Amino acid sequence: MRHRKRLLESEALRLLKGALRTNEIYSNLTYTVVENSIPKQVELDGLVLYDRAAFLVEAKSGAFTDPARRGAPKRLLEDIRKLIVGAHDQGLRASKYITESNEPTFQLTDGAQLKIDKSRLKNIFLVAVTLDQLDPIMANLAEVAKLGIFGPGDLPWAVSLGDLQVIADLIEFPFMFVHYLIRRLNLNTTTRISTHDELDWFGHYLREGLYLKAIDDPRFDKIALTTRTTMFDDYYFYTTGVRSTFAPRPAQPMPDLMRRVLSEVALGAAYGHIVVGLALLDMDGDARRRFAKWFERARRQAEKDRRIHDFTLGSSEAKAGFTVMAAPPEKAESLQERIVTYCNLKKYQTRSDVWVGIGTIAGEDRLVHCWMADDSPWEPDETLEETLNLFLQHVKKEG
């Protein structure tokens, strides 16, 4: 059993490493907590750090017993507690340790210490990976939670190794994995919608964004999501030779230019780039098409008249905005400063909590020359207020 668990841990971390494209992968960590005034050393199966996100991984290699599969109530609860609730409790303990400790420190298997700079973390995800397939239980944890078997705290992302393999394989950009989990875990808070397995959720995410407005529609008491896994079956049957008819690799629909921008942002991998990726992925289909169209137009205009051109997409509902600024090559050096200044003022003016900017140089093959991202909550600032007023007066005078 221990050998099975080690194999599950290593494979789960390998898949997460591939999906997130990070080398900050740690396994078999220990740390010290205080329980009833007594220091106690506890374990964490895996820790994955990517940009501003941390993934606390617990692996459970036990099998779902036959009585549980037949629906025997007591055995069903026992197996859920053993395979999911236990992982949830261990993940919550590690999350609490990170958020409440002044300097959270983990011990690695080689004796080295790993100190976590928690000020750099925006999201902490609890991930429970099982060797056995527990559909539809893991896909609908909000329903399971009604049994009262989970303690307080956010429910984990519970996923089988098989489903994790598919998701990790088809994630295009590392921040897309984070984006999926943010939207997916929101579904752990409602029992109004359900589906059969995790890949149905992921299939919906790829095709329709997993943004389910119908959840809040009072006309529906309960929503059952139909299967979204046919495209996965077709693709893998084709790639393995079982199917002769071509089946495309499942992917989110978006203009080619936007896909190139996302790829360049991901390759840059500077700290905070995840905010840029999430902002782009938050755009719906119409916004994505406008983004690509206006991006190309701004570059053409800058190349033609040798001036700087920009456009902005914003959402007052989401309190977020996105600006693209295109400049001719001779003005490239000032582009970073210009876009930072402009975006800071727009964020303040619109009282937005998130603002992202991309700078691009007209005529170059590369699309992303520089970027800025600020997702700090809006608050009054006398200096910004004064600068904004001066800027608006200048614009009015020039116009």
Maximal CA-CA distance, the chain: 78
Could you tell me the residue ranges of all domains in the chain? 2-173, 256-398
What does the angle CA 380 – CA 384 – CA 388 come to, to the nearest 5 degrees? 115
Q: For residues 313 and 332, what is the distance between their CA atoms, to the nearest angstrom?
A: 23
Q: For residues 320 and 312, what is the distance between their CA atoms, to the nearest angstrom?
A: 11
Candidate from 100-104, 216-220, 375-379 with smallest mean pLDDT: 216-220
Q: What is the pLDDT of residue 190?
A: 86
Amino acid identity at 150: F
Helix (H) or strand (E) holding 223: strand 223-224
What is the tens place of the pLDDT at every residue in 180-211?
999 999 999 888 889 999 999 999 999 999 98
- Mean predicted confidence (pLDDT) in 203-230: 83
Structure-token pair, residue 119: 């000020």
Please say if the pLDDT value at position 396 is more than 70. no
What CATH number has the domain spanning 2-173?
3.40.1350
Please say if the pLDDT value at position 151 is more than 90. no
Q: pTM for this structure? A: 0.94
Distances (CA, A) of 13 to 8, 49, 57, 81: 9, 11, 8, 23
- Mean predicted confidence (pLDDT) in 378-390: 90
Q: What is the pLDDT of residue 1?
A: 63
The proportion of the chain whose per-residue pLDDT surpasses 70, expressed as a percent, equals 97
Structure-token pair, residue 237: 């049957």
From the list 50, 9, 29, 34, the residue with the least C-alpha distance to 105 is 29
The proportion of the chain whose per-residue pLDDT surpasses 90, expressed as a percent, equals 76
Please say if the pLDDT value at position 143 is more than 60. yes
What is the tens place of the pLDDT at every residue in 95-134?
999 999 999 999 999 999 999 999 999 999 999 999 998 8
8-state DSSP, 155: P
Q: What is the pLDDT of residue 331?
A: 96
Q: What is the pLDDT of residue 121?
A: 96
Please say if the pLDDT value at position 399 is more than 60. no
Q: What is the pLDDT of residue 398?
A: 61
Candidate from 37-46, 285-294, 360-369, 381-390 with smallest mean pLDDT: 381-390
- Mean predicted confidence (pLDDT) in 303-323: 92
Q: What is the pLDDT of residue 214?
A: 59
Q: For residues 98 and 49, what is the distance between their CA atoms, to the nearest angstrom?
A: 13
Q: What is the pLDDT of residue 216?
A: 67
Ramachandran area for residue 86 (φ above 0: left; ψ -120 to 50: alpha; else beta): alpha
Q: What is the pLDDT of residue 134?
A: 87
Residue 292: CB atoms within 10 Å: 18
Strand 354-361 with 370-374, pairing: antiparallel
Q: What is the pLDDT of residue 355?
A: 97
Tokens 């820790």 belong to which residue? 47
Tokens 């997916």 belong to which residue? 184
**Sign of the Cα pseudo-torsion (65, 71, 74, 78, in order):** positive
Can you name the residues that pair with 224 across neighbouring β-strands?
194
Cβ 332 vs Cβ 369: under 8 Å? yes
Please say if the pLDDT value at position 395 is more than 70. no
Averaged pLDDT of the chain = 93
Cβ 343 vs Cβ 357: under 8 Å? yes
Q: What is the pLDDT of residue 136?
A: 85
Amino acid identity at 13: L
- Mean predicted confidence (pLDDT) in 369-387: 93
84 vs 395: which has the higher pLDDT? 84
Please say if the pLDDT value at position 144 is more than 60. yes
SS3 55: strand
Can you name the residues that pair with 105 across neighbouring β-strands?
115
Distances (CA, A) of 195 to 45, 144, 234, 267, 347: 29, 13, 20, 34, 38
Helix (H) or strand (E) holding 324: strand 320-327
What is the tens place of the pLDDT at every residue in 226-252?
899 999 999 999 999 999 999 999 999
